[in-house]
């Protein structure tokens, strides 16, 4: 039992990024997303203790997260969050269909993020950590909304490409 819990927690730790991205993408509130991630983790641990069969932990966690997101949407009712269960299911499906070599890619991406210049890091902080809209960011940074969108889009693309390059480099120089 202990081994099983340990195995599941290890898997969870490795795959939590995609899950956090999924939850955050749906509720756009980092603190709340971390709470929901925590809840998923607890439920996974409880299910493991109960001995429930979990063949695909990532998928299982996404299923739990989906229900928690729906619950969160119902509780919020502020209209500020875009609640669309159809989109939620489509993204869950997308993640189910595209399992990833998580550990390697995460490591590569992490290294690329660590090397970002300060301005790019600041952009990510404002957008994701502080959850500012492009309009507010534009005011703060004295830039146009379009240029910020373009900058963020390029930054994300550059990070993915950087990670790919690193992985290729690692493969060719094992």
Binding span for another protein by CB under 8 A among 51-59, 65-73, 83-91, 166-174? 83-91
Using the structure block, give the residue that is written with the tokens 């290729």. Answer: 168
When asked if residue 149 is in the footprint of another protein (CB under 8 A), the reply is: yes
Longest Cα–Cα distance in the chain: 56
When asked if residue 158 is in the footprint of another protein (CB under 8 A), the reply is: no
Secondary structure (DSSP) of 41-106:
HHHHHHHHHHT---S-HHHHHHHHHHHHHHHHHHHH-SS-S---HHHHHHHHHHHHH----HHHHH
Least separation in angstroms between CB 158 and another protein:
11
The residue within the footprint of another protein, chosen from 50, 51, 55, 98 (CB under 8 A), is 98
Cβ-based nearer residue to another protein, 54 or 124: 124
When asked if residue 17 is in the footprint of another protein (CB under 8 A), the reply is: yes
Tokens describing residue 125: 């902080």
The residue within the footprint of another protein, chosen from 43, 59, 106, 166 (CB under 8 A), is 106
Please, which residues have CB within 8 angstroms of residue 37's CB and are 6 or more apart in sequence? 16, 19, 20, 23, 65
Nearest alpha-carbon partner for 127 in 149, 146, 158, 106: 149
When asked if residue 169 is in the footprint of another protein (CB under 8 A), the reply is: no
Q: Which residues bind another protein (CB under 8 A)?
A: 2, 5-6, 9-10, 13-14, 16-22, 24-25, 28, 30-31, 33-35, 37-39, 41-42, 80-82, 84, 86-87, 90-91, 93-95, 97-98, 100, 102-103, 105-106, 109-110, 113-114, 118, 124-125, 127-129, 133-134, 149-150, 152-153, 156-157, 159-160
């Amino acid at each position: 039992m202990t081994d099983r819990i340990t195995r599941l927690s290890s898997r969870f730790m490795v795959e939590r990024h995609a899950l956090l991205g999924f939850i955050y993408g749906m509720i756009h509130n980092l603190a709340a997303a971390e709470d929901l991630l925590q809840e998923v983790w607890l439920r996974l641990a409880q299910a493991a203790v109960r001995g429930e069969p979990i063949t695909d932990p990532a998928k299982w966690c996404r299923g739990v997260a989906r229900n928690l997101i729906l619950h969160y949407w119902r509780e919020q009712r502020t209209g500020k969050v875009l609640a669309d269960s159809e989109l939620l299911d489509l993204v869950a499906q997308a993640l189910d269909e595209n399992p990833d070599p998580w550990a390697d890619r995460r490591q590569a991406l992490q290294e690329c993020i660590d090397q970002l210049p300060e301005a790019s890091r600041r952009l990510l902080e404002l957008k994701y950590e502080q959850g500012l809209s492009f309009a507010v960011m534009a005011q703060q940074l004295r830039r146009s909304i379009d240029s910020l969108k373009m900058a963020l889009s390029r930054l994300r693309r550059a990070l993915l490409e950087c990670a790919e390059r690193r992985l290729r480099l690692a493969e060719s120089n094992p």
